[in-house]
Each structure stands twice: as structure tokens, then as C-alpha cells.
Amino acid sequence: MAESKRVFIAYTGGTIGMRLSDQGWVPEEGFLEAAMRRVPVFSDGRVPSWDLVEFHPLLDSASIAPRDWIKIARAIRERYDDYDGFVVLHGTDTMAYTASALAFMLEGLGKPVILTGSQIPLCEARNDAQDNLVTSILLAGLYPIPEVCLYFHSKLLRGCRSVKVDSEGFAAFDSPNLPPLGVSGTEIEIDWRRVRPPGSSGFSVHESLDTAQGVLWLFPGITGEIVRNFLAPPLRGVVLQAFGVGNGPANDADFLAALHEARDRGVVLVDCTQCLRGGVHLGDYATGSAMAEAGAVSGHDMTPEAALTKLFFLFGQGHTPAEVEELVQRDLRGELTLPVASGPEPATD
């Protein structure tokens, strides 16, 4: 049964296939596939059959850039009809950015795209690579989840909700604002109620990305001058990593003026929270209302990775700043939770 399913593996690099060199861990051509061929489970019929294509050069994901997201998206598009699902092997450092970007770039997805990697390479005696890889191949081949997901250490996460939360532990990823789409224990259990339905418009790939975007982490003492410099051209959009529910130093007129000036030039200001969990409510405090008055729009509970790559995607689609402001607040791929409209209290009698 498993063998009759076909999975395409795009190997971009990362620790999972690295070997130790004099300079530390490095990816090496051919090394991962050779290691996989030596482990029986990968070829004895218990997992779907797979083909692996190695990217050139193999990268530590700290060096992954938007051009590599485009390469991954193209590799999937070219083989879309030939496989039941797709696994992207990727370093952990920027995997959440790639998962978020691919969620926007791959529209109308009808098959699983599972990103994974590991904290310890497959060639090591003690490793998390084998389970991450075996389970990802099973998920991609046997579970028709039409989403870009990230599988790591027993959790299947929506890609555009994922964040790297641990630089050392095996449980390196989480999606703090959305429970996992699935968990693997003695069984693989998918929470199908959370899985988005397949796209009705047919599958298409958006390759055009506008990378003149940034992320600005607010901190006590940030000045109008710093903000002005950061928001200077060519920047077109910024994710403001603000305090708590989206607040900023509203008693600093020059800070607010710097935001205003950028907005007047057409820079889109997306207010997100520095907190790992929870979202933005710009009306709750005067310090949040001031951010809205300066022109910031709510990023709701988006991760910075999702908000940034959404700006890459929306500006890349040629939208005007006003359209981007509107679309960035909408749920396009399950990347944000919209606030529940508060109506009148229901009658109790």
C-alpha cells in the first residue's frame, strides 16, 4: 500500500544531511541520499517510494534567500502531477520563513507539502533525523493534507503558523497560536477539523516576490531617527514587532511622526506582537491606538515570518499599498485568526 504512493523529496541542505568538516557541520553532495540508502526503512516498502533531488549548492538555511523559495516552488510545480506529496528537506534556522513563504506562493494546493529537517544529522548514531524524515514521507504520501506543513519532533504544524522556538532541543518548532494539525505518537493522528480544504481554483505558483520589506523590533528607547532610517526607501512594507497587544511608545512624538511620514510615502506598517503567543488589539490601549493613528494596520496573531513573507507576496502581486493594507489583514492561507465580531449579548431567558 505505502509503496504504491510516490513522494518527491526536494533536498535544499540543512543539518539533516551534513557531515563534520574542519570548519564544523557542512552539507555535502550525495551524502544524505547515500545515508538514506543504507537505512532499510527507506527502501523496504514500509514507506511510500520516493525520488530525491538535491539542490545546488546545498545550503545551511541561514543562507537561504527568496530566490531559493522560488527554486523549491518550481521544483514542486514541475512534478505536481507525478507525485502524491512533497517533502522539503531544509535547515531548521529559517525553515519557518520558507514554510510561510511557500504557503503564500503555492496557491490552490491539493497535495501535502511537508518541510522537515533535524537538529542532529542522519549519519549520527543519536539523531532526530530518521523519525522526522520517515514520518514526513509517510505524511506526504499517505495523508492528503492540502497544505504547506512543517513536521518536527512528533508535531505536524501549519507552515505559516510555525516558529523555531529552540536552537538546541529536538522539540525545535511550535505554532503558538494554532494547535498542531497532527501529532505522531504510537499512531499518526490528524486533526482533520483544522486542515484547510483543498483549493478550488486549481494549483498555481506565484513566483513574483517583492523583497523591499523589513521587520523592525521595537524596544524601550527606540528613537524617531532610528525608525526614520529603517523606513527609508527602498522599503515598501514593514512588520513592526510591537509590545504586548501591538503597543508602541506613544509619548514620543518623533517616533510617531516617523511612522506617519513613512505611511504618507506609501510604506505599509503591519503591527504584530513581540509575544510568542496572542495577537494584536490596537484599540485596547492608548499606546496601541496611537500606532493605528500613525497608520499601522493590525497583523492580528501572525508570526513575524508569516507577516514578512505575506508582504513579499502581496507587493510581488503588484498590489497598491492600500490594497496590501487591506489584504494583509485578511486570512489568506490560515496564517491568522480573525477576531470574533462582538455583537449584543445573547438573551438568557
Residues contributing to the site for ligand ASP (CB under 6 A): 13-15, 60-62, 91-93, 117, 119
Q: Rounded to an integer, what distance in angstroms lies between the CA atom of residue 96 and that of residue 90?
A: 10
Q: Measured from the CB of residue 138, what is the shortest distance to ligand ASP in angstroms? A: 21
CB-count burial class (<10 Å; 0-12, 13-18, 19+) for 293: middle
CA distances from residue 131 to 118, 119, 120, 152, 341 in whole angstroms, order as listed: 9, 12, 11, 9, 42
Cell 557542512 found at: 26
Phi–psi pair at 259, nearest 5 degrees: -65, -50
Q: Measured from the CB of residue 36, what is the shortest distance to ligand ASP in angstroms? A: 16
Catalytic residues: 15
CB nearer ligand ASP, residue 30 or residue 169:
169
CB-count burial class (<10 Å; 0-12, 13-18, 19+) for 252: middle
Q: Measured from the CB of residue 63, what is the shortest distance to ligand ASP in angstroms? A: 8
Furthest C-alpha separation in the chain: 75
- Please report which residue ranges of the chain form alpha helices under DSSP H: 31-37, 66-79, 95-105, 129-142, 224-230, 253-264, 286-293, 304-316, 321-328
Q: Measured from the CB of residue 52, what is the shortest distance to ligand ASP in angstroms? A: 17
CB nearer ligand ASP, residue 128 or residue 210:
128
CB nearer ligand ASP, residue 14 or residue 141:
14
Q: Measured from the CB of residue 44, what is the shortest distance to ligand ASP in angstroms? A: 27
Within 13 Å, how many C-alpha atoms sit on residue 40's CB side? 1
Please give the residue whose beta carbon sits closest to ligand ASP in the complex: 91
CB nearer ligand ASP, residue 5 or residue 90:
90
CB nearer ligand ASP, residue 17 or residue 85:
17
